[in-house]
């Protein structure tokens, strides 16, 4: 027996449109509370039916158990692909599967081992630079920007080792930044597309992406012509061969995959670190315990996974931070055929909004979800978390390919940041969510950073 979940009236959807465009999170939370159910329907644009859900069983069904019936929506496969190209995040079906099979081994823990030292090296360089900038008297810095700079350097070093110049990196990061803005505008203000064209705004976005792609192609072609071995992700992508044909990807495919990895691989991690530093500022008891772990743990210059594994409390803290502030706060799928899960009918062509933030804050799934508590993620207690109540990296076959990469980077970065600095939220800093593609702090995050005298 299937049943219909509550559908928000068209009138209400139109009435709330501006609030939705500004910050959808409070509106989705209120609606779920009002309807008293973890799933509800809206009519997007007044025509398309869509289901918003934070129900772990529905989510597991869509992402994992019956994933073949669900593709990514056009927001990702067309909207995002228009700027980021056709890589793992923006493709579906057979093409995606073939690419995933090709690229997956390169992100295997063992393969990443050679990148851990590169990461650590890059983080230490950034720490030295930050120390010089802030000094021991304390300087107020926007941590959001600082973390983006740090993660940008780490991902670009892991991808290209030394084969990218500062200028090239700047062009590439500008391209990624502007394309994010462009995607969000296309999604949230589709009615003003003509205006963006007329004013030349669209041209700025298109031009920056064109230049970013030019830089990447240049790096790829240079590397292809070289015989030197670099042991970075670019070498891995160029060396990988399709199982069926034994052929390599062409340069455009490599370029598209790199652009996607570059875009997906730094802002998410930067947001997670920013929110973690904020939580530590708000919870001195957690900070004290973390500082103790950092003092007790020596990380060598060439760390291995076994060194990182010793930062167990740091991992719990980051886990809790990503529960409270999931960097990827929502994702979506579209149903290829009619389906049913837990008695809820799902219609062909319907968009499913998979509300990661909602599941992470659900009173049905967590004790006191508003309380920040890294103890939820001790090895003993973690086992009790229901499937898909906590999934910052998604789930099913499209689980984040960079999960291991991100964990290694975040744990190392947090370790060095806590070891070398004290952080304090700047007086008057307003903290508000800005859910764009990733969940950012709306007003940045000014913090006074003080280098420890050592
Ligand atoms: C804290 C950091 C990160 C978070 C929270 C995160 C989150 C996610 C999520 C939720 C998905 C699945 C989206 C969906 O199913 O619709 C995803 C996919 C993906 N992520 Fe991450 N990610 C992070 C870091 C990274 C890093 C460091 C990289 C690369 C170096 C990366 C590369 C990718 C790629 C390529 C995909 C697409 C996988 C596929 O569809 O086959 N991510 N990520």
Average pLDDT of the chain to the nearest whole number: 92
Instruction: Judge whether residue 229 has pLDDT over 60.
Output: yes
Residue 2: how many CB atoms within 10 A of its CB? 12
Q: Which atom of ligand 1 is nearest to the CA of 155?
A: 30
* 264 CA to centre of ligand 1 in angstroms: 6
In a domain, 5, yes or no: no
% residues pLDDT > 70 (the chain): 98
Query: Is there a contact between 88 and 381 (Cβ–Cβ < 8 Å)?
Result: no
List alpha helices for 61-192, DSSP H: 74, 81-84, 93-103, 109-134, 143-160, 166-188
Q: Domain total for the chain?
A: 1
In a domain, 260, yes or no: yes
In degrees, rounded to 5, the angle at the alpha carbon of residue 39 between the alpha carbons of residues 56 and 441 is 80
> How far apart (Å, rounded) are the C-alpha atoms in residues 113 and 408?
10
DSSP state of 431: -
Sign of the dihedral defined by the CA atoms of residues 151, 103, 87, 207, in that order: positive
pLDDT (0 to 100) of residue 37: 94
In a domain, 158, yes or no: yes
Domain membership of residue 265 as a residue range: 10-451
In a domain, 368, yes or no: yes
Residues 246-281 pLDDT 10s: 999 999 999 999 999 988 988 999 999 999 999 999
In a domain, 1, yes or no: no
**Which of 254, 264, 272, 322 best tests ligand 1's pocket when mutated (most atoms within 8 Å of CB)?**
264
In a domain, 97, yes or no: yes
Q: What is the pTM of this model?
A: 0.95
Q: What is the CA radius of gyration of the chain?
A: 22
The CATH number assigned to the domain holding 154 equals 1.10.630.10
Residues 2-22 pLDDT 10s: 778 888 877 777 777 777 777
In a domain, 327, yes or no: yes
Name every protein residue with a CB atom under 6 angstroms from any ligand 1 atom. Answer: 88-89, 100, 155, 260-261, 264-265, 268-269, 272, 327-328, 331, 392-394, 398, 400-402, 405-406
Mean pLDDT of 424-433: 96
In a domain, 50, yes or no: yes
């Amino acid at each position: 027996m299937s049943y219909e979940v509550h559908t928000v009236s068209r009138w209400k959807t139109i009435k709330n449109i501006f609030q939705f465009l500004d910050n959808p999170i409070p509106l989705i939370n209120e609606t779920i509370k009002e309807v008293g159910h973890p799933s509800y329907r809206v009519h997007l644009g007044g025509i398309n039916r869509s289901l918003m859900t934070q129900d772990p069983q529905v989510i597991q069904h869509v992402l994992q158990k019956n994933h073949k019936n669900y593709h990514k929506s056009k927001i990702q496969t067309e909207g995002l692909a228009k700027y980021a190209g056709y890589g793992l995040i923006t493709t579906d079906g057979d093409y995606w599967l073939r690419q995933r099979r090709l690229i997956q081994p390169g992100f295997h823990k063992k393969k990443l081992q050679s990148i851990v030292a590169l990461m650590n090296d890059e983080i230490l360089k950034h720490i030295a630079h930050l120390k010089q900038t802030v000094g021991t008297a304390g300087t107020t810095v926007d941590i959001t920007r600082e973390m983006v700079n740090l993660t940008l350097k780490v991902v670009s070093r892991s991808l290209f080792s030394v084969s990218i110049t500062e200028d090239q990196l700047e062009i590439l990061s500008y391209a990624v930044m502007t394309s994010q803005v462009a995607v969000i505008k296309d999604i949230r203000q589709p009615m003003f597309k003509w205006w963006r064209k007329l004013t030349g705004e669209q041209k700025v976005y298109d031009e920056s992406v064109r230049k970013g792609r030019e830089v990447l192609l240049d790096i790829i072609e240079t590397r292809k012509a070289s015989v030197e071995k670099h042991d970075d992700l670019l070498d891995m992508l160029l060396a990988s061969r399709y199982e069926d044909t034994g052929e390599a990807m062409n340069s455009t495919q490599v370029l598209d995959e790199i652009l996607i990895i570059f875009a997906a691989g730094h802002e998410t991690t930067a947001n997670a670190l920013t929110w973690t530093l904020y939580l530590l500022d708000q919870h001195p008891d957690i900070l004290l315990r973390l500082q103790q772990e950092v003092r007790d743990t020596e990380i060598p210059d060439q760390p291995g996974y076994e060194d990182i594994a010793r930062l167990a409390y740091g991992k719990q803290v980051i886990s809790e931070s990503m529960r409270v502030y999931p960097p990827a706060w929502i994702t979506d799928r579209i149903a290829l055929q009619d389906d049913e899960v837990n008695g809820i009918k799902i219609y062909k062509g319907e968009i499913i909004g998979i509300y990661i933030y909602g599941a992470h804050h659900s009173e049905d799934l967590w004790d006191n979800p508003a309380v920040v508590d890294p103890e939820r993620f001790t090895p003993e207690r973690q086992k009790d978390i229901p499937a898909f109540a906590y999934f910052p990296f998604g789930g099913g076959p499209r689980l984040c390919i960079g999960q291991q990469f991100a964990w290694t980077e975040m744990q190392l970065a947090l370790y060095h940041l806590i070891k070398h600095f004290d952080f304090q939220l700047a007086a008057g800093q307003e903290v508000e969510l800005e859910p764009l593609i990733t969940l950012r702090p709306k007003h940045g995050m000014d913090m006074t950073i003080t280098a420890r005298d050592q």
